[in-house]
Structures are given as structure tokens and as C-alpha cells.
């Protein structure tokens, strides 16, 4: 992977940052991105050899073309796209009134349409240099009847299916895979004490995931040239208990 170039959306913190750091450790030049945290994004980029920072939201119409052109101007190539940017709302699955159409649109704009937009913009560049790869960060919520809300879980199910559709449509030049974590310890989830305790009691491995767990699994997928269309459920065995 040394010498390759990667875009990692939503990488100023959490899972995205861990993936960016892991790729940089393999001498991949990483484009760090965030929509609302430019100071933190610049800190991450400055800490990684060969990295740079691109500010922007995946929901902006020009984001995909702009970040791809940024990569090509700065590095002359693009090999890896990691769609990590995401959003959610915490809404009980039984609260149908709370899951408004506005919330559905907000979540799908980021989690599905944002990923689709940048994939469309990046596909031609990824095909060059012998082919590239796309890794989508989805969720156990897209596989099992769980998650912070029904709109969130449905958006991740859509991204899982998009992963497999594109694995066929873009083969053989571009590989497309996904990591679907269960509960991960991030700034998002740091106050979810009851949820974390319940997860630790229920999951066979008796803990939630770390961002490093997700990044390590992402790297294993990206380093395997024969893997495409795979959705890796990274949940400490939780799905076996449901």
C-alpha cells in the first residue's frame, strides 16, 4: 500500500481518524476530512506523514468532485476511498412519530446519498493505476434489528446493499467492501453508559469495540486483493446473541 493515496471522509476523530492513522502507518498519503471541525482535522493531518486536509460536507453537491480533484492535483492519483462520514439521531424504535420525514432525509443525505455522490465522483480516478478500492463503514444496525434509530439502521442497511451492488458493477477494476461494527467507543457514544454496560454483558467478547479494532479490520480488508462484496460484521459476537 506504500505510495497509495486515500480519501477518508469524517476523519478528524473517532473511527475515521483511526483508519487515517492506520493507513498513514502503511505509508499511504491520506486526505483527512471533516465538515465541522477544521482545527481538529488540521491537527490530525499535520500528525500524519504525507497527509493533507480537505474541509467540506459530503452533503454538498460539489463535495465529491472537489475532494477528488484535490487529491489528483496534490498527489496525482487516488487509490482508496473510505466512506466513514455518518450521522444519527437517538430515537426509540417504537417512537414512530419521533422519526420524522425531516430526520429520515437528514440521515440519508449523509449516510447514503453522501457516500453515493463521492463514489460517483471518484470511480474514474480509482480505476486508474491498475484499479482501486472503496471501503464503506456501515453498522451492525444495518444487519440486525438494532441501532440508535430506525432511520439510522435503514440507512446503514442501504449502504450495505449498495456495497454489494457496486462490488459487482465496478469489478474487476474497483473492489468494494464494508465494515459493519457494533457499538464502538467514540465521542458519539461516550455517554451511553447503560447501552455500553448492556453490550458488554451480552456480547460474547464482553466489551464494545475500540476505534483501533475497526481500523485494524479495515486494514485487513484493504490489504486483501481478492476480497470484494464483503460486509464484515465486527461486533464481538453480539449478532450471535440476537
| Catalytic residue IDs | 152
- 93 in any annotated domain: yes
Eight-class DSSP state of 239: G
- 69 in any annotated domain: yes
Burial degree of 77 (CB within 10 A; 0-12, 13-18, 19+)? middle
- Total domains present in the chain: 1
Burial degree of 105 (CB within 10 A; 0-12, 13-18, 19+)? exposed
Q: Are 85 and 63 in contact (CB under 8 A)?
A: no
Q: Is 13 left (phi over 0), alpha (psi -120 to 50) or beta?
A: beta
CA atoms within 13 A on the CB side of 136: 34
- 240 in any annotated domain: no
- 241 in any annotated domain: no
Q: Are 127 and 79 in contact (CB under 8 A)?
A: no
Place of cell 455522490: 117
Residue 229's CATH number? 3.40.50.720
Q: Are 161 and 180 in contact (CB under 8 A)?
A: no
Q: Which domain holds residue 62?
A: 5-233
Q: Are 11 and 20 in contact (CB under 8 A)?
A: yes
Residue-by-residue pLDDT tens, the chain, 242 positions:
999 999 999 999 999 999 999 999 999 999 999 998 889 999 999 999 999 999 999 999 999 999 999 999 999 999 999 999 999 999 999 999 999 999 999 999 999 999 999 999 999 999 998 899 999 999 999 999 988 999 999 999 999 999 999 999 999 999 999 999 998 988 777 777 777 777 888 888 888 899 999 999 999 999 999 999 999 999 889 888 86
- 132 in any annotated domain: yes
Amino acid at each position: 500500500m506504500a505510495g497509495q493515496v486515500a480519501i477518508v471522509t469524517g476523519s478528524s476523530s473517532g473511527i475515521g481518524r483511526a483508519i487515517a492513522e492506520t493507513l498513514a502507518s502503511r505509508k499511504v498519503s491520506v486526505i483527512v476530512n471533516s465538515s465541522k471541525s477544521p482545527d481538529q482535522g488540521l491537527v490530525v493531518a499535520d500528525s500524519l506523514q504525507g497527509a493533507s486536509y480537505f474541509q467540506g460536507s459530503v452533503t454538498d453537491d460539489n463535495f465529491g468532485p472537489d475532494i477528488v480533484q484535490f487529491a489528483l492535483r496534490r498527489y496525482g492519483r487516488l487509490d482508496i476511498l473510505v466512506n466513514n462520514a455518518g450521522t444519527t439521531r437517538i430515537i426509540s424504535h417504537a417512537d414512530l412519530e419521533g422519526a420524522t420525514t425531516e430526520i429520515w432525509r437528514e440521515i440519508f443525505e449523509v449516510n447514503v446519498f453522501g457516500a453515493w455522490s463521492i463514489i460517483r465522483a471518484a470511480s474514474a480516478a480509482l480505476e486508474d493505476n491498475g484499479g482501486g478500492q472503496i471501503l464503506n463503514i456501515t453498522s451492525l444496525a444495518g444487519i440486525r434489528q438494532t441501532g440508535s434509530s430506525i432511520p439510522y439502521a435503514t440507512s446503514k442497511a442501504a449502504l450495505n446493499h449498495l456495497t454489494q451492488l457496486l462490488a459487482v458493477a465496478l469489478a474487476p477494476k474497483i473492489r468494494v467492501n464494508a465494515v459493519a461494527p457494533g457499538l464502538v467507543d467514540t465521542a458519539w457514544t461516550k455517554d451511553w453508559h447503560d447501552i455500553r454496560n448492556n453490550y458488554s454483558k451480552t456480547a460474547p467478547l464482553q466489551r464494545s469495540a475500540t476505534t483501533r479494532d475497526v481500523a485494524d479490520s479495515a486494514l485487513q480488508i484493504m490489504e486483501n486483493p481478492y476480497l470484494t462484496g464483503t460486509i464484515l460484521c465486527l461486533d464481538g459476537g453480539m449478532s450471535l446473541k440476537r
